Structure 1
Amino acid sequence: MRFNLTRGVVLTIYAVIILVPLAVVFFGSFKTTPELFDSPFGLPSSISFDNYDTVLNEQNLSQAFLNSVLVTCSSVALTLFIGSLAAYATARIPGWPGWLIFGFLVLGMTVPAQANMIPQYALFNQLGLLDSRIGLVIINVVVGLPVAVFILGGFMKTLPREAYEASSLDGAGPLRTYWSIVLPMSKPSLAATAIFLFVIQWNDLLYPLLFISSDSKKTIPLALLDFQGQFLTDYPLLFTGVVIASLPMAITYVLLQRYFVAGITAGAVKG
């Protein structure tokens, strides 16, 4: 009884810590700057979408939003495709060679992104990929692949061997088995990986800041920096941009939460 009470108190405090800043940002997006500083925790005196109109039209955040959608969705789709193929290959290779290849593929997770910035910039400069959305997609795929292989490979190694053997007896080749057997069984793990990659790549500021210089190709995290000046920050507009930037992540999680919960628990016990 005492344990349940303590847990309830801790969870309540944690929920308040999370919800209060979210409420301040959300309601602050409907306020003016004087109203926000006068009553940061209060409700707005009136519901006005002037800040959203300013952010989307005058501040050109709509273009940054479109850039983020194109770059992130393309990056996640390519990473899942390539990562699932690599994970499937390591899962099908028996014994230590499969684990050795798996370990080599996920080795990239141990290298900090900052350690590769200078050689990556020099390489992309030589290839003419600076200040381009394609360059961002490529770097996102390269950085996200070790994570995708780690999550998907760990799950695919728990799939029963009988499924592979039954598919082979039916005359299916490796690619047919991958498409018809492995991918449908891996939906929870694919959804969990997709959400994880989407959040990381949607919020990424390092690589857009390093590679993008044109205003028309900025992503949302990079565009939000324009709301912060050296001596003055327009917090209502900044909060509005944060709300808009957070919507795709919230919608993605709501749509895939059933698979996400199953994905993070899949593989805990080998089937």
Structure 2
Amino acid sequence: MLATLGRRAILASYAVLIVVPLTVILFGTFKTTGALFENPFAPPTSLSAENYRTVLTEQNLSGAFVNSTLVTVVSVTLTLFLGSLAAYGVARIPGWRGWLIFGFLVLGMSVPAQANMIPQYVLFGRLGLLDSLLGLILINVVVTLPVAVFILGGFMRTLPSTLYEASALDGSGPWRTYRSVVMPLSLPSLAATAIFLFVMHWNELLYPLLFIQSAEKRTLPLALLSFQGEFQTDYPLLFTGVVLSSLPVVVGYVLLQRYFVAGMTSGAVKG
């Protein structure tokens, strides 16, 4: 009984810690700066969309939204394709050799991003990829590819070898087996990886801050920094930008939640 009450108390406290800041942010999107500081917990007196209009038009958040969408969609697509190919190849290698190659591919997860930033900046500068969305896409793929291989490889190793043998007996080569057998069976794991990568790329600030200088090429996290000045921060506009930038992630997770849970669970099973 006491243990149950303790768990409920902990969960209730955690819920309060989540709900209260979210409520302040949502209420703040309909307030002025003065009204927000006067009583941040009070509901807005009117549901004026002035902050949303200002953010989308005057602050050009719509342009940053397009840039983030382009970078995120292309980065996730390329990472899933390359990661699934690598995971499929590793899963077909039996014994310790497969595990050794798998470990080498996911070794990049243990290297802090900050440790590679100076050589990456120099390299991309020599290639002419600084201040470009293409350079941002390439660095996103490189950095998150080990994550995709780790998740997808864990699932593909659970597929029985008889599937590959049956496909070979039907006359299918490696590419046909990958496309017609492995990929359809890997849809839950692909969906889970896609959501995970989408959140990482969509919220990425470090590399856009390092690589992007032009205002018209800013992504959403970088654009939100413009709401914070040296001596003053426009919190209602900042809250509005945060809400708008969070909507795609929330909607995507709600629609693909069951695939995310199924994919992460199946990837955790050792075959």
2:45 counterpart of 1:45? yes
For the residues of structure 2 that align with 1:268 and 1:115, how far apart are their CA atoms?
29
**Which residue is equivalent to 2:198?**
198
2:239 counterpart of 1:239? yes
**Which residue is equivalent to 1:186?**
186
For the residues of structure 1 that align with 2:56 and 2:90, how far apart are their CA atoms?
45
For the residues of structure 2 that align with 1:99 and 1:76, how far apart are their CA atoms?
25
**Which residue is equivalent to 2:160?**
160
Aligned residues of 2:152 and 2:267 also touching (Cα < 8 A):
no
**Which residue is equivalent to 1:63?**
63
Matches within 5 A, 1:102-117: 102-117=102-117
- 1:119/1:236 CA distance change after superposition, 3 Å: same
For the residues of structure 2 that align with 1:268 and 1:140, how far apart are their CA atoms?
25
2:8 counterpart of 1:8? yes
Q: Which runs of 4+ in 1 moved over 2 A?
A: 1-5, 267-271
Matches within 5 A, 1:214-229: 214-229=214-229
- Structure 1, unmatched stretches of 5+, are none
Structure 2 counterpart of 1:87, one-letter code = A
For the residues of structure 2 that align with 1:81 and 1:132, how far apart are their CA atoms?
22
Task: Give 1:5 deviation, angstroms.
Answer: 2.2
Aligned residues of 2:29 and 2:236 also touching (Cα < 8 A):
yes
For the residues of structure 2 that align with 1:156 and 1:7, how far apart are their CA atoms?
36
Task: Give 1:104 deviation, angstroms.
Answer: 1.0
Aligned residues of 2:106 and 2:150 also touching (Cα < 8 A):
yes
Aligned residues of 2:189 and 2:267 also touching (Cα < 8 A):
no
For the residues of structure 1 that align with 2:163 and 2:91, how far apart are their CA atoms?
13
Matched position secondary structure for 1:230: coil
Q: 1:157-209: CA deviations, max 9, x gaps? A: 01111211111111111111111111111111111111111111111111000
**Which residue is equivalent to 1:127?**
127
The root-mean-square deviation of aligned C-alpha atoms, in Å, is 1.0
Task: Give 1:81 deviation, angstroms.
Answer: 0.4
For the residues of structure 1 that align with 2:133 and 2:156, how far apart are their CA atoms?
32
**Which residue is equivalent to 1:33?**
33
For the residues of structure 2 that align with 1:268 and 1:149, how far apart are their CA atoms?
13
For the residues of structure 1 that align with 2:200 and 2:210, how far apart are their CA atoms?
16
Task: Give 1:267 deviation, angstroms.
Answer: 3.6
For the residues of structure 2 that align with 1:268 and 1:139, how far apart are their CA atoms?
27
Q: 1:95-120: CA deviations, max 9, x gaps? A: 11111111111111111110111110
**Which residue is equivalent to 1:78?**
78
Aligned residues of 2:151 and 2:267 also touching (Cα < 8 A):
no
**Which residue is equivalent to 1:87?**
87
Kindly tell me the number of residue pairs found equivalent between the two proteins: 271
With normalisation by structure 1, the TM-score equals 0.98
Task: Give 1:22 deviation, angstroms.
Answer: 0.9
Matched position secondary structure for 1:266: helix
For the residues of structure 1 that align with 2:181 and 2:8, how far apart are their CA atoms?
43
**Which residue is equivalent to 2:250?**
250
Matched position secondary structure for 1:81: helix
Structure 1 counterpart of 2:87, one-letter code = A
With normalisation by structure 2, the TM-score equals 0.98
For the residues of structure 2 that align with 1:164 and 1:41, how far apart are their CA atoms?
59
Task: Give 1:270 deviation, angstroms.
Answer: 4.2
**Which residue is equivalent to 1:171?**
171
Matched position secondary structure for 2:256: helix
2:228 counterpart of 1:266? no
Structure 1 counterpart of 2:3, one-letter code = F
